[in-house]
Structure 1
Amino acid sequence: MDTISERYQHVLSQIRHATGIAGRPKNSVQLLAVSKTKPAGDIAVLYRLGQRHFAENYQQEALLKQQALAGFNITWHFIGPIQSNKTKAIAGQFSWVHSVDRLKIAQRLSEQRPAHLPPLNICLQVNISEESSKAGVSLAELPELAAAITVLPNLRLRGVMAIPEPNSQYAQQRLPYRHLYQAVQDLHLAGLDSYSFGMSGDLKAAIMEGATMVRIGTALFGERDYRV
């Protein structure tokens, strides 16, 4: 598959197939196109094919693309690490943030969310594999952080995001997602309906274990480059 269009159709087919195998309703899994390091032109191609949700990891790069694509009705998701001094732009320029793992960051996002915009949709990043090299709240800390964020006025807690330790075995790929999905269910918090699970290498496993959004980059755009 040499073109973005061909890759896009293939990914959509994979999502439909996995959703069917899981016995879940059609269109219950949303494709989130991860466009980090890819040029605005590639995003425009996918947009014209029907894709509307795009995710970025780097604030400054994302802002440049948002300016270039200002005429497009894109829903922007931020999925990268968040520095305290970068929260204002994220609060104002994105509809979703998937990578919140500290109350301080959530508080700043709430305080800096422009009054004319709806509440910012939040997913809590959980370090489900307990890797020291990765960001994310632990499962043990998740209930307390979730409860604290639900009372912030300009945020809407929607669910969780996870990036498990890579594993090539399908059965092993499913386990961390299953564990986290059940942990969120056990919280019994109203409105938690979003599971940002799965990337190009474990899409099927994530959907089988409850993903409502799959974050796909390489399978859509090809290998990373550094043009913006």
Structure 2
Amino acid sequence: MTDRKRELAANLAKVEERIAAACAAAGRAREEVTLIVVTKTYPAGDVRLLSELGVRHVAENKDQDAAPKAAECAELPLRWHFVGQLQTNKVRSVVGYADVVQSVDRARLVTALSKEAVRAGREVGCLLQVALDAGASERGERGGVAPGGVEELAAQVAGSPGLRLDGLMTVAPLTGEYAGRQREAFGRLMDLSTDLRRAHPAANMVSAGMSADLEDAVAAGATHVRVGTAVLGVRPRLG
């Protein structure tokens, strides 16, 4: 085993312990929470090692990094999640490899995703990114639809060919009433998920929590946590 593989295995074991402990504390089964490893800025070689170590879900946030990496790892048994703010001019490329787009936050993006999914003959899962720092109608500073816009956008996704409404995603807000209150923020997302599932019962995926706050997300009821640094290490500085 290489040094890097040994390092990743040790980090994965620590994250696994944290998730298991958080599930136990919340009275949840460990199987209820899926780990997504965020591999942004790290090479395809690391993705390959993670796959060998049993990881099945990886996430990227920039198409220019993700597209060649996904192509290089195309034969691996992985589900690729796109988690970054997505411009419509990148949609065709992203639809080529992403199994799930977790950052759906506006009608124009839904239209573009549907068009390219149909063209590619694929079904793409969609999570609505909810901006808990947004006011009644604006988008959050890091993207996302305001809570009041979830119902309308969900209906658009559900009615769009080539797309599957899978659920909701959020990033813990840096500003607003939930700043520094991750557990309350994730609890609010769970309330929105409950509302969403009344109209769309299959849209039961809730993606929340990262390296620093995954315990809060699991306590609130998240089904998926997105962990990068705790598995791969501190990201190298770019530029």
**Common topology (TM > 0.5):** yes
Higher helix share: 2
Match of 2:229 in 1: 218
Equivalent residue for 2:220, pick from 209, 213, 225: 209
Match of 2:150 in 1: 142
CA distance in 1 between counterparts of 2:158 and 2:87 reads 21
Deviation, structure 1 residue 133: 2.3
1:185 equivalent to 2:189? Answer: no
**CA shift in 2, pair 1:132/1:105, >3 Å:** closer
Match of 1:82 in 2: 86
**CA shift in 2, pair 1:132/1:28, >3 Å:** closer
Deviation, structure 1 residue 200: 0.4
After superposing on structure 2, the runs of 4+ consecutive aligned residues of structure 1 that deviate more than 6 Å are none
Segments of 5+ residues of structure 2 without an aligned counterpart are: 1-5
The amino acid of 1:145's aligned partner reads L
Match of 2:27 in 1: 23
Segments of 5+ residues of structure 1 without an aligned counterpart are: none
The aligned length equals: 224
Deviation, structure 1 residue 190: 2.1
The amino acid of 2:29's aligned partner reads P
Kept in 2: contact 1:91–1:114 (CA 8 A): no
CA distance in 2 between counterparts of 1:132 and 1:157 reads 21
Match of 2:98 in 1: 94
Kept in 1: contact 2:60–2:81 (CA 8 A): yes
Match of 1:58 in 2: 62
Deviation, structure 1 residue 114: 4.8
| Residues 155-200 of structure 1 deviation map (CA, whole Å, 9 limit, x = unaligned) | 0101111002259x9x922001111211221231221110010000
Equivalent residue for 1:109, pick from 100, 108, 113: 113
Kept in 1: contact 2:127–2:166 (CA 8 A): yes
- Relative to the length of structure 1, the TM-score reads 0.92
Equivalent residue for 1:172, pick from 178, 181, 184: 181
CA distance in 2 between counterparts of 1:113 and 1:153 reads 8
1:129 equivalent to 2:128? Answer: no
| Residues 81-127 of structure 1 deviation map (CA, whole Å, 9 limit, x = unaligned) | 11111111111211000001011111111111156754211000010
Deviation, structure 1 residue 132: 4.8
Deviation, structure 1 residue 26: 2.6
CA distance in 1 between counterparts of 2:236 and 2:29 reads 35
- Relative to the length of structure 2, the TM-score reads 0.88
Kept in 2: contact 1:37–1:226 (CA 8 A): no
CA distance in 2 between counterparts of 1:105 and 1:113 reads 12
Percent identity over paired residues: 35
Equivalent residue for 1:151, pick from 147, 152, 159: 159
